[in-house]
Amino acid sequence: MIMLATNWTHVWMVTILGFCLVFLLLVVLIYILKLFGFIMRPRIKVAKPTEVHEAVGAPRKETSESITLTAEATAAIATALHLYYNGVHDEEPTQVTIKKIERRYSPWNSKLYGMNNLHRN
Amino acid sequence: METNIWQEILEFFQTMGFMQMGADFFGTGWQQLVMLFISFFLLYLAIKKQYEPLLLLPIAFGMLLTNLPGAGMFHSELWDAFLNPDSPYYHSYGAILKNGGLLDVLYIGVKAGVYPCLIFIGVGAMTDFGPLIANPKSLLLGAAAQIGIFLTFLCANAMGFTEAEAGSIGIIGGADGPTSIFLTSRLAPHLLGPIAIAAYSYMALVPVIQPPIMRALTTKAERAIKMKQLRAVSKTEKIVFPIMVATVVALILPDAAPLIGCLMLGNLMKECGVVDRLSKTAQNELMNIVVIFLGLSVGATATGPSFLNLKTLMILAMGIVAFGCGSAGGVLLAKLMNVFSKEKINPLIGSAGVSAVPMAARVSQQVGQEENPGNFLLMHAMGPNVAGVIGSAVAAGILLSMLG
C-alpha cells in the first residue's frame, strides 16, 4: 500500500536530477577553479643565464616558469634549510653571570629605624 | 492546620518527577525512563570513549533534561501547534517565548535555521581550501560521495517514509552534522532528534565504517599509488575562492546560499588576513557557544514518544547505508578517473568525499600508509574532504528546493 501511495515518478526524478545537479554544479566549479588557477598560479621567476647576454653585460632576462617539485625534493630542501638556519647563530659568550638579587625589606636593616636617625632627632 | 500541612506535603510529592513518572508509567513514564538511560549511555560514550564529545555531550544532556518529567524545559506540544496550520499558534514564535521553557527558546535557533549557519561560519574559518584549489578534480570525488544521499532517499521512500522525511534521512550520507540539522529542521522537524544522533554517531564511527569498504573496493597496488605533490596556491587564489564559490553557487542554487554563504564568509575572514579578531571569534567563541545551544536543543527534541519507535531504528539503519554508499561512491569514481587520466589518483582519497572533516581524510592517510608507509595522502585527501562539505551543502539545497 505504502509503495503504491508513493509518487515514484517524482522520487526517481528527484534522485536522478538531484544527483546530476550536484555533479553539474561541482563540474562548473572545477572549470572556474581551473581558469582561476591558470590566471593566478604563483610563478617562480627563474633566471636563465645565457652566455651571449652575460658576455655583452646586458641585463639578464628572466623567464617565468611554474616549477613542480616532488615531495622528496621538497622535504630534502626543507631539511637542508632547517639544518643550515639552525647552525647560523651568534657565538655565545659562555660567561657565567650572577643575577642581582633584590634584598628583601626588613626593619632590622632599615635606615629609617637606625640609631643615627634617633640621634639626629 | 494539621490538614493543611499534610495537604502541602502531598502537593509537593505530587510535583516530584518520580511521582509524575510513576503515575503515568505505562503511558509515557517508561519511555521517559528508557530515554534517561539512553542519555546516560550517550554521556558515557562522549566522556569515556570520546565519540564526538563536543556535540554528543550537549546532545545527551539535552536529551536528559527534556525527559525529566515535570521539569518543563521543552514542550513538544508547543512545537506541534507551531507546525499545525489549523492551530492559532501556527508559526507563532511569540507563543513559544511566552509559554516555552529554556530549551524551547534555544530551539528557536534550530527552527529558524540559525545555528547550522553560524556553525558553518566557524567551519569555514577553520578550513583550508588550498588542497582543493590546487587540485580542482577533487570536487568530482566530493560530488560522487553524495550518491549515498540520493540512494538512501530512494530506499527511505521504498520503506514508507514521505519524500520530505526521506530527503532528511538521506542527508545523513553527507556526513555533515550542521547540514543534516539544517535540512531536517526544514523538511521533517519531527525526525530531528534521531537524524542528528545518527549523523553524529556515524561521523564519530568513520574510522570503523570506512576502512573495510575502502579495502574491499581497492587492490593493494591501487592503495599504494603515490600521488604527485600539489602545486603551491597563492594568497590571492585563496581570497578569491570563497567569494567566487559563494557567488556562483548562490546564483545557480539559491536554496544552498545560507550554508555555502556562511561557510565561505568564515573562510574569507580567515584568508583575507585583515579581520583576525573576527576569524578567531568565529573559530572559537562563536563556534563553542553555538555548539552548546545546538547540542542542547537538538537533544531536547529526542523525547520518548518521538524517539522510541520503529522509525528511529529504520533511520539508524538507513544512516549507515547512506554513509557506506557515499564512501563507496567516492572510491569507485577515483578508480574510474584512473582509467581515463594519465596522472594516477590513489582511490583511497575518494572515500574522504563524504564530509566528516578532517576525520575522513585521516582515515585515507592511515589506510594508505598501511600499504606504503612512505605515502602521505593526507593533503590529497583534504581536497575531496572539503569538496564533500560543499557537495553536501549543495545536495541539501537541491533537496530543499525540490521537496521543501
Task: Please report the pLDDT score of residue B10 as a whole number.
Answer: 85
Of B357, B385, B320, B397, which is closest to residue B152 (Cα–Cα)? B320
Taking CB atoms and an 8 Å limit, are A27 and B136 in contact across chains? no
Residue of B nearest to A6 (CA): B157
Query: Min CA distance, B145 vs chain A (Å)?
Result: 10
Q: Does the residue B81 lie in any domain?
A: no
Please state, as a whole number, how many other Cβ atoms lie within 10 Å of the Cβ of residue B95.
17
| CB atoms closer than 10 angstroms to residue B43 | 18
- Residue B9 in domain: no
The average confidence (pLDDT) of chain A is 73
Residue at B147 is within a domain = yes
Residue B206 lies in a domain: yes
Give the least confident one: A86-100, B129-143, B144-158, B333-347: A86-100
Across the range B261-286, mean pLDDT stands at 95
Q: What is each CA distance from A6 to B199, B233, B393, in whole angstroms?
A: 25, 49, 26
In a domain, B52, yes or no: yes
Q: Give me the pLDDT at residue A38, please.
A: 81
Q: Is the pLDDT of residue A47 over 80?
A: no
* CA gap B78, B90 in Å, rounded: 10
Q: Which residues contact A103 (CB under 8 A, 6 or more apart)?
A: none
pLDDT of residue B341: 86
Query: Who wins on pLDDT, A105 or B324?
Result: B324
Joined grid coordinates for residue A120: 639626629
Amino acid at B235: K
Residue with cell 583534504: B382
pLDDT tens per residue across span B54-112 = 888 998 999 999 998 888 889 888 988 988 889 998 889 999 999 899 999 999 998 88
Helices B53-66, B102-111: axis angle to 10 degrees equals 130
Q: CB–CB of B391 and A26 under 8 A? A: yes
| CA separation, residue A52 to residues A55, A62, B357 (Å) | 5, 14, 55
Q: Does B373 touch chain A (CB under 8 A)?
A: no
Of B126 and A6, the structure prediction assigns the larger pLDDT to B126
* B163 Cβ under 8 Å from any chain A Cβ: yes
Whether the per-residue pLDDT at B245 is higher than 60: the answer is yes
More confident residue, B183 or A109: B183
| Arithmetic mean of pLDDT, B148-172 | 93
Distance CA B152, CA B306 (A): 21
The residue count for chain A: 121
The helices-and-strands tally (H runs, E runs) of chain B is 24, 0
Element (H, E) at A45: strand A44-47
> Is there a domain that residue B10 lies in?
no
Please tell me the pTM assigned to this model: 0.79
Half-sphere exposure in the Cβ direction for A87 (13 Å, CA):
6
Q: Do B157 and A71 make contact, defined as CB atoms within 8 angstroms?
A: no
Contacts of A12 in chain B (CB under 8 A): 154
Question: Confidence class of residue A53 from pLDDT cuts 50, 70 and 90?
Answer: low
CA-nearest residue to A1 within chain B is: B160
- CA–CA separation, A1 vs A6, rounded Å? 9
- Mean pLDDT computed over A99-120: 68
- Which of B103-117, B172-186, B197-211, B317-331 is predicted least confidently? B197-211
Chain B residues 224-283 with CB within 8 Å of chain A: 228-229, 231-234, 236-237, 240-241, 244-245, 248-249, 252-253
Residue numbers in A near B244 (CB within 8 A): 32, 36
Nearest CA in chain A to B374: A72
pLDDT surpasses 80 at A113 = no
Q: With 60 as the cut, is the pLDDT of residue B267 above it? A: yes
Asked if A113 reaches chain B (Cβ–Cβ under 8 Å), the answer is no
Once rounded to an integer, what is the mean pLDDT over residues B204-226?
91
Number of folded domains that form chain B? 1
> Are the beta carbons of B231 and A23 separated by less than 8 Å?
no
Band of residue B375 on the pLDDT scale cut at 50, 70, 90: confident
CB pairs under 8 A between A and B: 113
Segment A71-78 mean pLDDT: 82
Residue B123 lies in a domain: yes
Residue B86 lies in a domain: no
Q: Say what the pLDDT of residue B234 is.
A: 86
- The amino acid occupying position B329 is G
Taking residues B142-146, report their average pLDDT: 94
pLDDT of A1: 45
Domain range enclosing B135: 33-71+113-403
B358 preceded by a cis bond (ω within 30 of 0): yes
For the cut 60, the answer to whether the pLDDT of residue A63 exceeds it is no
Smallest CA–CA separation between B147 and chain A, in Å?
A: 7
